Amino acid sequence: MKLHSGTLSHGSAWLLAGLVAAPLTALVAAPAQAAEGKSFVENFDKLNTARWYISDGWANGDHQNCTWSKKQVSVKDGRLRLGFAKEKIKDRDYVCGEVQTNQRFSYGTFEVRMKAVAGSGLNTGFFTYIGPVHKQPHDEIDFEVLGKDPSKVQINRYVDGKSRGPADLVEVPGGADRDFHDYAFVWQKDRIAWYVDSKLGGEVTDPAVLPSHPSKIYLSVWGSDTLKSWMGAFSDPGQPLAAEVERVSFTAEGDACQFPESIVCKTQSQ
């Protein structure tokens, strides 16, 4: 359930009191829609602001205990770092990091190589989202590592603001917080397939319950004091934390594989 820059999401969290299936944040600060995105590979030699917008200065709702801060987003040694730290801004006691693409992307393969953070009440996410804040229906496809148990990653999708789950938990060999792992989902008109380290972790083939609107790509780390039944009771980590991302890519449907480790290479060769 991520209530990202512009949405509320995920699994049973929709059922929690006080939450609504509508954007709760001021993504109004985000840039206007550009032309639909093409295939790319981002290795984070720098933070390409033509591609990435940094969320800064707001929170997504009462459930979120941190304020998005551009100071929690950095690139060093070929890695994007998304931080979580104790710092009071406005009415939140913590700050956290999120980036989102300026462009929207349609059918194709979405991939990330990342290391998540551990800690009850924390969430590391890689997902696509579009919604009313963009004057579109709420569609979403998710990978979320819940820090209370980083041995697994949660997969889910939303269509017109409704979870089309149930959200499934997929094992991450060795733990999502211990090392870098590859997460990918293939989004087609009649299918979504999620992969963890090239192994199929979940699949849906009913077009009636699949997202259909071009969406933005998000990467984020955030915390919650209130979503205990989903994310666990929040525990102050006692020190700054950061998720790390080595690579993000999008390969449009029908385009060739862009790098050897891509799930596109593996599926095209089958």
Kindly list the catalytic residues. 140, 144
Among 84, 29, 35, 31, which Cα is nearest to 214's? 35
Find all residues with CB under 8 Å of 93, minimum gap 6, and list them.
65, 66, 86, 87
Among 134, 111, 89, 119, which Cα is nearest to 248's? 111
What's the token pair of residue 22?
């509508």
Longest dimension (CA), the chain: 53
Helix (H) or strand (E) holding 228: helix 228-231
- 27 and 135 Cβ atoms separated by less than 8 Å: no
- SS3 for 222? strand
Question: CA torsion sign, 166 to 172 to 176 to 181?
Answer: negative
- 55 and 101 Cβ atoms separated by less than 8 Å: no
- SS3 for 231? helix
What's the token pair of residue 267?
């599926």
Question: What is the C-alpha separation between 29 and 180, in angstroms, rounded?
Answer: 31
Question: What is the C-alpha separation between 128 and 110, in angstroms, rounded?
Answer: 9
Among 229, 186, 253, 234, which Cα is nearest to 12's? 229
